[in-house]
């Protein structure tokens, strides 16, 4: 990752497009965390790409002065992975919401985890579909009532952290939009991590399902003595859903697919086709 010698501030990463979220939306806190992270890491805007899908949170690339790609619903991760494979010199960050990444885009989370491509994904989870006016999402609690589920949601509630850990994602963390400094630290750690980084950001929707007061009351920092290299202990923390833990759950440095692919590419340059075909003469 290239470091710039130019002094950058969060303002340097603000585009001319003003955020259009509802007043009080948690995504404002996530956006500020992104600004601060990019400035802290001194990432050159022309060497940084923010990719999104569709949804309220997926508007974020418009508000950041870097390269951006606003893809279709649920497809932020395939685009981000393709970018990193083609341009390993770029810093690639994917953003989206719980509906975008855990519903239509859920299958891509599996592939990104198994490939361990060096990208960072920040999921802004409000446990509701905000852009389409309040339908339940995969992370909505069982029994939740909306206009589309007047008798209560019958499905089970999706557990993002437990799912990421079960897929052996190499960096798993959770932050809270009302604690932007702590969230910025996690995003910074995720970008610095060599591998697929999954950051679950609790980001309340004040319009359709306001969980701000509940999360402010129940969100709990991960114990200071937690061993972030122990995936089984991390899973125990992930299964606590009544008082969601925030912080770094798990981290494991291992070879990334983009590294392995480019090593293979270099080996291929030395491949002797005539010598290989002589085996069949």
pLDDT, tens digit (0-9, with 9 covering 90-100), for 95-121:
999 999 999 999 999 999 999 999 999
**Residue 265 confidence (pLDDT):** 83
**Mean pLDDT (the chain, rounded):** 95
Check residue 273 and give its pLDDT. 84
- Distance between CA 75 and CA 111 in Å, rounded? 12
What is residue 5's predicted lDDT score, i.e. its pLDDT? 57
Taking alpha carbons only, the member of 61, 191, 43 closest to residue 124 is 61
Burial class of residue 27 (count of CB atoms within 10 Å of its CB; 0-12, 13-18, 19+): buried
For residue 27, list its beta bridge partners.
none
pLDDT (tens digit per residue) in 204-256:
999 999 999 999 999 999 999 999 999 999 999 999 999 999 999 999 999 99
Helix axis angle for 76-86 and 106-115, nearest 10°, is 30
Band of residue 271 on the pLDDT scale cut at 50, 70, 90: confident
Per residue in 56-88, pLDDT tens? 999 999 999 999 999 999 999 999 999 999 999
Percentage of the chain beyond pLDDT 70 is: 98
Report pLDDT for 134.
96
In the predicted model, is pLDDT for residue 33 greater than 90? yes
CA–CA separation, 228 and 250 (whole Å): 4
CA terminus-to-terminus distance, the chain: 47
**Higher-pLDDT residue of 1, 181:** 181
Query: Is the pLDDT assigned to residue 275 strictly greater than 90?
Result: no
Residue 49 contacts residue 93 (beta carbons within 8 Å): yes
Edge to edge, what strands does the sheet with 48-52 contain?
A: 67-70, 48-52, 91-97, 120-125, 197-202, 171-176, 245-251, 220-221
The pLDDT score that the predictor gives to residue 119 is 98
Fold (CATH) for 10-280: Rossmann fold (3.40.50)
Sign, Cα dihedral of 79, 229, 40, 56: positive
Q: Quick check: helix, strand or coil at residue 70? A: strand
* Token pair in block for residue 93: 């960050």
**Residue 272: pLDDT band with limits 50, 70, 90:** confident
Domain extent listing, the chain: 10-280
Max Cα distance, the chain (Å): 75
Does the pLDDT of residue 3 top 60, yes or no? no
* Nearest partner of 231 among 154, 151, 169, judged by Cα: 169
């Amino acid at each position: 990752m290239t470091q710039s010698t130019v002094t950058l501030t969060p303002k340097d990463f603000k585009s001319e497009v003003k955020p259009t979220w509802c007043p009080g939306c948690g995504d404002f806190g996530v956006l500020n965390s992104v600004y601060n992270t990019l400035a802290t890491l001194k990432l050159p805007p022309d060497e940084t790409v923010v990719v999104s899908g569709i949804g309220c949170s997926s508007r974020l690339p418009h508000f950041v002065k870097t390269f951006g790609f606003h893809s279709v619903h649920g497809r932020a991760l395939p685009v981000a992975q393709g970018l990193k494979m083609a341009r390993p010199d770029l810093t690639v960050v994917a953003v989206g919401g719980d509906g975008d990444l855990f519903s239509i885009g859920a299958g891509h989370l599996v592939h990104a985890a198994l490939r361990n491509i060096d990208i960072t994904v920040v999921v802004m989870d409000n446990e509701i579909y905000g852009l389409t006016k309040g339908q339940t999402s995969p992370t909505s609690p069982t029994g939740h009532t909306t206009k589309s589920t007047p008798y209560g949601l019958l499905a089970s509630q999706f557990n993002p952290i437990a799912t990421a850990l079960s897929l052996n994602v190499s960096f798993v963390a959770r932050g809270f939009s009302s604690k932007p400094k702590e969230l910025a630290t996690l995003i910074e750690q995720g970008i610095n991590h060599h591998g697929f980084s999954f950051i679950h950001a609790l980001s309340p929707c004040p319009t359709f399902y306001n969980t701000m007061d509940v999360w402010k009351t129940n969100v709990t920092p991960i114990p200071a003595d937690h061993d972030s290299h122990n995936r089984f202990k991390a899973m125990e923390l992930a299964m606590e859903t009544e008082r969601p833990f925030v912080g770094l759950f798990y981290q494991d440095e291992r070879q990334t697919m983009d590294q392995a692919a480019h090593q293979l590419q270099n080996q291929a340059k030395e491949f002797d086709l005539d010598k290989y075909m002589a085996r069949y003469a």
